[in-house]
Amino acid sequence: MTVNWVTRESGRDPQGAVSRTGCPSQGAQSLGSSLHQMHGNKQHLQKDFFLYNASKARSKTYINMREVSERFRLPPSEYVIVPSTYEPHQEGEFILRVFSEKRNLSEEVENTISVDRPVPRPGNTDQESEEQLQFRNIFRQIAGDDMEVCADELKNILNTVVNKHKDLKTQGFTLESCRSMIALMDTDGSGRLNLQEFHHLWKKIKAWQRIFKHYDTDQSGTINSYEMRNAVNEAGFHLNSQLYDIITMRYADKHMNIDFDSFICCFVRLEGMFRAFNAFDKDGDGIIKLNVLEWLQLTMYA
């Protein structure tokens, strides 16, 4: 049985109606929404937007019903509808329907998936930093005569240096994370990294480490799912809401927090999958065709 909850202000004709229907498999949840005026912003709205832009209309209360409908009268403009549950971090699916007396256009925010191409930074690449010299010495000690490292050896090298960064509050990288790193940087398909491949990897880790520390404002060693969305975007990966939900489900703990190892592992996977897709997308139309062997090779080694 579907129950409609309709609110109308007395003495005012309805201009539009917003209806949100909860997913049957999730049961009834307390739903509400707010409408904010905006102008041309198609990206994810930051906290500052909501701090300085009060809602033009909102739910008067959150009601625990399968279907919630509300009517608003608003002047012509661009608006963003922000549906939410009463309690934070509640998962569920819903249908958002907008009915208006006059024709309108609507689209989902963050509906474009892309990655920024890295821009080389100017600088003296011939001069090694103290940290790079330290890595080179550790690499030679662990790699041996062949000057290549496997996943176990890569784990020892990275954790030797990362553990000196006490502000990260991390227990180090896991073996699975190091396997993913090798898959990302292994250009010759040997399953090992040489010194040059390792240097490229470390540059990426350092860049991602700066992003992690920027969003780990309380220095807890973790960032929450909202901060992760901003961190992914700052790293140059532009995803949609469905992919952000998948990242949270895959890499966050039960408190919706993501630690440093999971953070780097996520970025390694994103980097590798975008790189692989672009390699197959010869004509740049955003569509690739793989046979079962190519698909398994791509996903099993990523």
Successive 10-residue mean pLDDT values, the chain, 302 residues: 30 47 56 80 74 84 75 84 78 74 74 74 56 73 82 87 77 89 83 86 90 89 88 91 90 91 93 90 91 89 74
What's the CA gap between 25 and 164, in Å, rounded?
A: 47
pLDDT score for 264: 93
Instruction: Quickly list DSSP for 12-74.
Output: ----EEEEEEE-GGG--EEEEEEEEEESS--SPPPHHHHHHS--SEE-SS-EEESEEEEEE--
> What pLDDT, on a 0 to 100 scale, did the predictor assign at position 10?
33
CB 43 within 8 A of CB 34: no
Residue 56: closest CA among 75, 29, 83, 69: 75
Partners of 214 in beta bridges: none
Per the CB < 8 A criterion, the answer to whether 48 and 103 are in contact is no
Please report the pLDDT score of residue 3 as a whole number. Answer: 23
- For helices 175-185 and 151-162, angle between their N-to-C axes, nearest 10 degrees: 110
pLDDT of residue 6: 34
List C-alpha distances in Å: 116 to 238, 274, 275, 277.
8, 10, 11, 14
Residue type, 207: A
Q: Are 58 and 34 contacting, i.e. CB atoms less than 8 angstroms apart?
A: yes
Query: Could you give the maximum distance between any two Cα atoms of the chain, in Å?
Result: 85
pTM of structure: 0.70
The CA–CA distances, whole Å, from 175 to 36, 159, 282 equal 46, 11, 33
Write out the two tokens for 110: 């963050």
Q: 113: part of which helix (H) or strand (E)?
A: none
